[in-house]
Amino acid sequence: MKTADAALPIVQMEQVCKKIGAKTIIDKLSFEVPRGEVFGFLGPNGAGKTTTIRMMVGLMSITEGDIRIGGHSIRTHFEEAIRHIGAIVENPEMYKFLSGYHNLVHYARMIPGISAQRIEEVIKLVGMENRIHDKVKTYSLGMRQRLGIAQALLHKPSVLILDEPTNGLDPAGIRELRDHLRKLTREEGISVIVSSHLLSEMELMCDRVAIIQNGSLVDVRLIKDFRQADDKLQVVFDLEPLDAARNLVKEVSLEAVYELRGETLVMTLDRTEVAAWNKRFVEAGINVFGIRTANKSLEDQFLEMTGSDQIA
Ligand X SMILES: Nc1ncnc2c1ncn2[C@@H]1O[C@H](COP(=O)(O)OP(=O)(O)OP(=O)(O)O)[C@@H](O)[C@H]1O
Contact positions toward ligand X, by CB under 6 A?
20, 23, 25, 43, 45-51, 197
Say if CB 96 and CB 136 are below 8 A apart. yes
Closest contact distance (angstroms) between CB of 140 and ligand X is: 23
147: CB partners within 8 A, 6+ apart: 92, 94, 100, 103, 104, 126, 128, 136, 139
Closest contact distance (angstroms) between CB of 267 and ligand X is: 40
What residue spans of 126-229 are helical by DSSP H? 141-153, 171-183, 199-205, 223-228
β-pairing, 11-20 with 64-69? antiparallel
Of 21 and 307, nearer to ligand X (C-beta) is 21
Of 35 and 49, nearer to ligand X (C-beta) is 49
H/E stretch holding 40: strand 38-42
Of 6 and 59, nearer to ligand X (C-beta) is 59
Closest contact distance (angstroms) between CB of 167 and ligand X is: 9
Of 143 and 211, nearer to ligand X (C-beta) is 211
Residue 242 has a CB neighbour count (10 Å cut-off) of 16
| Closest-CA residue to 11 (of 150, 153, 151, 160) | 160
Three-class SS state of 22: coil
Using N-to-C axis directions, what is the helix angle for 141-153 and 116-125, rounded to 10°? 140
Edge-to-edge strand ranges of the sheet holding 208-213: 85-88, 159-162, 191-196, 38-42, 208-213, 216-222
Closest contact distance (angstroms) between CB of 17 and ligand X is: 13
Of 164 and 203, nearer to ligand X (C-beta) is 164
Of 51 and 185, nearer to ligand X (C-beta) is 51
Closest contact distance (angstroms) between CB of 45 and ligand X is: 3
Closest contact distance (angstroms) between CB of 66 and ligand X is: 19
Question: What is the helix, strand, coil percentage profile of the chain, to 5?
Answer: 35, 30, 35
Closest contact distance (angstroms) between CB of 21 and ligand X is: 7
Closest contact distance (angstroms) between CB of 86 and ligand X is: 20
| Closest-CA residue to 82 (of 158, 15, 146) | 158
Residue 257 has a CB neighbour count (10 Å cut-off) of 12
Of 112 and 307, nearer to ligand X (C-beta) is 307
Residue 170 has a CB neighbour count (10 Å cut-off) of 12
Of 40 and 71, nearer to ligand X (C-beta) is 40
